[in-house]
Structure 1
């Protein structure tokens, strides 16, 4: 089912049981921030991106290595080399994603990011090393920036797709089919938002971080919060601006976000996460956040 009707989606989703398979990834992949700098094409529709003078490539590289070390203590994590011709490649989850037995290549809106999709080494890793079948959406005309635009509850096969210039309705339908989802809720992002994963995170299928002001229609945000109640945290605009919504659960017992995001959390948020069974893990990523994305954007999941 694919629908724009929050009530219809909620009624269906409440009856979908969790699968016995993995709610979180079995491994992760990163791409190093080689040549990390402001990408002017991406800046056209990413208001979170900083000015040129805020970019510090050396600091970004140090923070990225620290992120790699931290994640590797939780699950196997591989890091591909960066490329100075693709300054946004540090956010690979928009371009490459996986489901059991297959990998997806997304259709990026901007040419500077479309270059990432042709990387033979990343494709070869999934195809030849892991033996995954390929679903290549990169050559068709509809933007579909994978798990930037589409937040997925892997435990129940549910998708939450934010529509913007980075993903249209046709692209959302292509992703729904490619990921093999049971149901996907389509909603327009609020003006100025570019990806759903900045305004929404679903954590191991049992909790959600919802930034309602990032949705054009509050009813969609409220339906998602209702689905994950009592473990739905409604984040305020300041928390969203600090990338607290750009979080990810990579195990059943921990949620990861940047140090700046964690510092911006209002009192009681850590306790609410603990009540849902999650410890909070934070990594300094302020240099990488200059590029308009945070921790979740850096992490590709391998299922």
Structure 2
């Protein structure tokens, strides 16, 4: 079921058992920021992107440290970057996996559409999986940038923006085989749901209500699903990418050092209460490109 009807979604979601699949991935893949620079096309609808000051050397060093840290917890595959695809450091928008499928998204901007054609990533992630290629159809659907998935229960929350249409949301819902997906409009100026919402191993969530066109509705939905572990954040935390976080293991939540510094003490205590340790990695150069740690990490299920 994919719907805009909150009550209908919650009726299914509340009854969904945590048996859809693993809550966290068995591995991750990243793309190095080779040729890191400002992507002018992407900047048109990404208000988080800096106007200047892009430092390719610093971005590569940050990325290498991120890979090193994650490898202490789970297997990581790293693909080289492409200077012709400066946003390639954020691969989760283009490639997503389920237990049996590789899903390839349709990016809004031509500068990002070329990423979907990468034969090396297709070959590596597609081995043993069916390939659901959405990249050539006309509806934008930027995968787990637009669609935040509770993998344990097979639930999705998809925020519509210029990066994801209603038709694109439906295509992603089907491609990932989800039980239920709720479609909501993002607030004007927001480009991806995963900047304003993170579902953490199916048992907690970080939410920036003001990132949605109807903040109270978004807050009520997330609270209904995760109860006291639904952590609402303010605009300052949103700007610092606190909700652009990811649970890479059942006991660790990863975010940038900037995000961790902006994480309210009460929110940190709530995460600890439900069994999460925060892992923080400095990413100031990469964040100039308008995304943070979660955007850099594509999951392998």
Give the TM-score normalised by the residue count of structure 2: 0.98
Equivalent positions of 1:112-261 (< 5 A) are 112-127=111-126, 130-218=127-215, 219-261=217-259
Let me know the Cα RMSD of the aligned residues. Answer: 0.9
Structure 1 position 9, deviation (Å): 1.3
| Alignment match, 2:42 | 42
Give the TM-score normalised by the residue count of structure 1: 0.98
| Alignment match, 1:6 | 6
| Alignment match, 1:294 | 292
Structure 1 position 282, deviation (Å): 0.4
State the alpha-carbon separation in 1 of the partners of residues 219 and 178 from structure 2. 20
CA contact (8 A) 1:210 1:225 kept: no
Query: Which ranges in structure 2 are unaligned for 5 or more consecutive residues?
Result: none
CA contact (8 A) 2:91 2:297 kept: yes
**Would the alpha carbon gap of residues 20 and 146 (structure 1) be closer, same or farther in structure 2, given more than 3 Å must change?**
closer
State the alpha-carbon separation in 1 of the partners of residues 257 and 84 from structure 2. 28
Structure 1 position 20, deviation (Å): 6.7
Query: Which ranges in structure 1 are unaligned for 5 or more consecutive residues?
Result: none
Structure 1 position 265, deviation (Å): 1.1
| Alignment match, 2:268 | 270
Structure 1 consecutive aligned stretches of length 4 or more whose deviation exceeds 3 Å: none
Structure 1 position 266, deviation (Å): 1.4
| Alignment match, 1:110 | 109
